[in-house]
Chain A
Amino acid sequence: QQQVKQSPQSLIVQKGGIPIINCAYENTAFDYFPWYQQFPGKGPALLIAIRPDVSEKKEGRFTISFNKSAKQFSLHIMDSQPGDSATYFCAAGHGDAGNMLTFGGGTRLMVKP
Chain B
Amino acid sequence: DAEITQSPRHKITETGRQVTLACHQTWNHNNMFWYRQDLGHGLRLIHYSYGVQDTNKGEVSDGYSVSRSNTEDLPLTLESAASSQTSVYFCASSEGSAGSYEQYFGPGTRLTVT
User: What sequence of 0s and 1s flags, for each residue 53-96 of chain B, a beta carbon within 8 Å of any chain A beta carbon?
Assistant: 00000010000000000000000000000000000001010101
Count, chain A residues at interface, CB 8 A: 24
Cβ B40 vs Cβ A95 within 8 A: no
Residue in chain A with minimal CB distance to B35: A103
Say yes or no for A101: interface residue by CB 8 A criterion. Answer: yes
The residues of B that contact A45 with a CB separation of less than 8 Å are: 104-105
Contact of A105 with B103 in the complex, beta carbons under 8 Å: no
* CB-contacts of A11-26 with B (<8 A): none
A101 touches B103 (CB 8 A): yes
A44–B102 Cα gap in the complex (Å)?
11
**Nearest CB to that of B44 among chain A residues?**
A103
How many pairs of residues, A versus B, come closer than 8 Å at their CB atoms? 58
Number of interface residues of B (CB under 8 A): 28
Interchain CA distance A58-B108 in the complex, whole Å: 29
Residues of B within 8 A of A46 (CB): 102-103
Query: A99 to B96, alpha carbons, bound, how many Å?
Result: 7
A113 interfacial contact with B, CB 8 Å = no
A31 to B35, CA, bound (A): 22
> B-facing mask of A76-107, CB < 8 A → 1, else 0?
00000000000001000101001111011110
15 contacts between A and B (CB under 8 A): A1-B59, A34-B102, A36-B105, A43-B4, A44-B90, A45-B104, A45-B105, A89-B43, A98-B31, A99-B96, A99-B101, A100-B48, A103-B35, A105-B42, A106-B42
Interface residues of B (CB under 8 A from A): 4, 31, 33, 35, 40-45, 48, 50, 59, 90, 92, 94, 96, 98-108
B-binding residues in A (CB < 8 A): 1, 6, 9, 32, 34, 36, 41-46, 49, 89, 93, 95, 98-101, 103-106
